């Protein structure tokens, strides 16, 4: 058997597993990129091989938008001390949105035991099965927004009514985030409505992929979105709101012109259900809080000061 056939055999296995796998040398230049990595991130090997993991491609960030490629990189640390690591990070997808992942790093050693690089295994941490079932049900009931593929106004209004009924019967509080894209008209005016549509899709994916399977992200229309969060308190509401705001800020759309990268921010109003709320009450309250975020500088979350 040829000497390299064993290596080819293992590479063939790695190339076809669903998890993302990539190798780097000691300078963190990427030397191998499998099909799983391509499926999760949208980047093919032709986009990645020879690039460094800290180049503006994958752009690993934490849920508060800290770029770990520039500081705190698990691969760099593994190359330095030879220890395995595990971390949660959000990858930049080629289409612009953020993908939640769990990643694991391990060193690569030569025959003498010297570290020559490292490899990373990562997987999409979205709750895919539950989300697929939800999407299937929404499609059956014509409750999806046609452009973005997330819940539409009709579904959001139905869901708010259901949540209020549960709150009145069982006391289960829920949170509502009212979200509006900052300066969206300027994006459309400058780059065209096609670019604007892509921004709407990117934000929809960023919101829907970074909430729990039993929470709901929907588009009311235009540049307005709502996220419904179950079983919430003020601390977790604030944490979730800030996470989504930061992840949208970290997302971007690159047009066919490689020199044009479009990023936007969002203004958010966050509230929690109150006794006696009607659907329009909680929506209007969150909408008013969102406008406070606009007035105070945009790219902000305004929490309901009366939350108890």
Tens digit of each residue's pLDDT, the chain (308 residues): 344 545 566 677 888 899 999 999 999 999 999 999 999 999 999 999 999 877 878 888 988 888 888 778 999 999 999 999 999 999 989 999 999 999 999 999 999 999 999 999 999 887 654 666 666 666 656 888 989 999 999 999 999 999 999 999 999 999 999 999 999 999 999 999 999 999 999 999 999 999 998 999 999 999 999 999 999 999 999 999 999 999 999 999 988 888 889 999 999 999 999 999 999 999 999 999 999 999 999 999 999 999 87
Strand (E) or helix (H) holding 292? helix 279-295
Phi-psi region of 183 (alpha: psi -120 to 50; beta: other; left: phi over 0): left
Q: Is residue 38 annotated as a catalytic residue, yes or no? A: no
Strand partners, 221: 224
Q: Which of 102, 126, 98, 101 is closest to 248 using CA atoms?
A: 98
Span 5-124 CATH architecture: 2-Layer Sandwich (3.30)
- What pLDDT score was predicted for residue 255? 82
Q: What's the rounded Cα separation, in Å, for the pair 119 and 121?
A: 7
- 21 is written with which tokens? 């796998």
- What pLDDT score was predicted for residue 307? 84
- What pLDDT score was predicted for residue 3? 43
Helix axes 234-250, 193-209, angle to 10 degrees: 140
- 40 is written with which tokens? 């999760």
Q: Specify the pTM.
A: 0.77
What is the CATH T-level fold of the domain 128-303, as seen in this structure?
Answer: Alpha-Beta Plaits (3.30.70)
- What pLDDT score was predicted for residue 2? 41
- What pLDDT score was predicted for residue 128? 58
Strand partners, 268: 179, 301
- What pLDDT score was predicted for residue 125? 83
Report domain extents, the chain.
Answer: 5-124, 128-303
Intrachain domains 5-124 and 128-303 with the same fold? no
Catalytic residue among 133, 223, 224, 242: 223
User: For residue 302, which phi and psi values (nearest 5 degrees)?
Assistant: -110, 120
């Amino acid at each position: 058997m040829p000497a390299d056939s064993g290596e080819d055999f293992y590479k063939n296995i790695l190339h076809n597993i669903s998890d993302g796998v990539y190798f780097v040398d000691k300078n963190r230049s990427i030397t191998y990129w499998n099909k799983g990595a391509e499926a999760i991130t949208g980047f093919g090997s032709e986009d990645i091989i020879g690039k460094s993991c800290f180049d503006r491609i994958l752009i690993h960030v934490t849920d508060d938008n800290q770029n770990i490629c520039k500081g705190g990189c698990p691969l760099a640390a593994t190359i330095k001390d030879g220890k395995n690591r595990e971390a949660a990070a959000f990858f930049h997808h080629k289409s612009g949105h953020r993908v939640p992942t769990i990643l694991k790093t391990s060193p690569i050693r030569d025959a003498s035991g010297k570290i020559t690089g490292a490899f990373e295994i990562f997987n999409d941490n979205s709750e895919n099965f539950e989300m697929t079932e939800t999407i299937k049900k929404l499609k059956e009931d014509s409750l999806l927004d046609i452009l973005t593929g997330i819940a539409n106004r009709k579904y959001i209004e139905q869901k708010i009514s259901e949540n209020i009924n549960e709150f009145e019967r069982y006391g289960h509080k829920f949170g509502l985030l009212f979200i509006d894209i900052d300066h969206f008209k300027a994006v459309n005016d400058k780059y065209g409505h096609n670019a604007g549509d892509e921004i709407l899709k990117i934000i929809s994916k960023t919101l829907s992929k970074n909430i729990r399977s039993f929470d709901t992200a929907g588009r009311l229309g235009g540049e307005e979105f709502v996220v419904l969060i179950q079983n919430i308190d003020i601390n977790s509401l604030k944490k979730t709101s800030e996470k989504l705001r930061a992840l949208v800020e970290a997302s971007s759309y690159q047009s066919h012109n490689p020199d044009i990268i479009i990023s936007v921010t969002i203004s958010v109003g966050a509230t929690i259900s109150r006794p006696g709320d009607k659907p329009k009450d909680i929506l209007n309250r969150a909408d008013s809080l969102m406008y406070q975020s606009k007035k105070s500088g945009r790219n902000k979350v305004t929490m309901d000061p009366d939350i108890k």
